[in-house]
Amino acid sequence: MFSKVILGNVDECRTECEIADDTANTVAVVYESREGWHVNIVRPLRDVELEAFDETVAAAKQRLSHYVNRMGGNASEDTTRGALSLWLMQRDDGTALGINLHNHNDRPAIPMRNVPPEVVDRIRSLSRNGQRLEAIRKLRLATNCSLEQAKAWLNDNC
């Protein structure tokens, strides 16, 4: 009866779950803040929907609990909207959007000499501060390397 979509809301700096009805219209938004869980209902629910809705909200809270940055704490102020959205989507299993952020692969990393020194310092700083996705993005922009090469470089050098 209801579907759930998890997304990184960069405007509110939180990870939330949108609950939609069978016509794909949003019924509610579920998120967690320091004050606890919130369920913002967008349209009134019919009596026949209440039980299924309550079950869907419980399932949404369970799914959201695996997103480590869901409350937006310690978000970098100098990051892009895209990087912030990805940061909000990081899960406790080391993935974001299905990408394993800790995966080592056999593809060689780019040589250190091909990474400008000022970029190396910024990337290492980002990585130390838990902003691995932003570090990967900056490395790829500076060197035009692949995602796999950037991840391998970070694993080898940070």
In this predicted model, what pLDDT tens digit does every residue of 10-58 receive, in sequence order? 999 999 999 999 999 999 999 999 999 999 999 999 999 999 999 999 9
- The tokens describing 96, both together, are 């974001």
Q: Report the distance separating Cα 16 and Cα 13, nearest Å.
A: 10
CA 57 to chain centre: 20
Give which of 122, 133, 8, 14 is closest to 74, Cα–Cα: 14
Query: Regarding predicted confidence, which is higher, 148 or 67?
Result: 67
Tell me what percent of the residues of the chain surpass a pLDDT of 90.
Answer: 49
- The tokens describing 29, both together, are 């938004």
Mean pLDDT calculated for residue range 56-68: 96
Phi-psi region of 132 (alpha: psi -120 to 50; beta: other; left: phi over 0): alpha
Q: Report the distance separating Cα 125 and Cα 120, nearest Å.
A: 9
Give the tens place of pLDDT for each residue, 105-134: 555 555 555 677 888 888 888 988 889 999
Helix then strand count (H, E) for the chain reads 5, 6
Give the tens place of pLDDT for each residue, 68-106: 999 998 888 778 888 888 889 998 888 887 777 766 555
Query: Regarding predicted confidence, which is higher, 55 or 149?
Result: 55
Q: How confident is the model at residue 17, as a pLDDT?
A: 97
- Which residue type occupies 54? D
Reply yes or no on whether the pLDDT at 6 is more than 80: yes
Q: How confident is the model at residue 112, as a pLDDT?
A: 53
Q: Report the distance separating Cα 104 and Cα 14, nearest Å.
A: 29
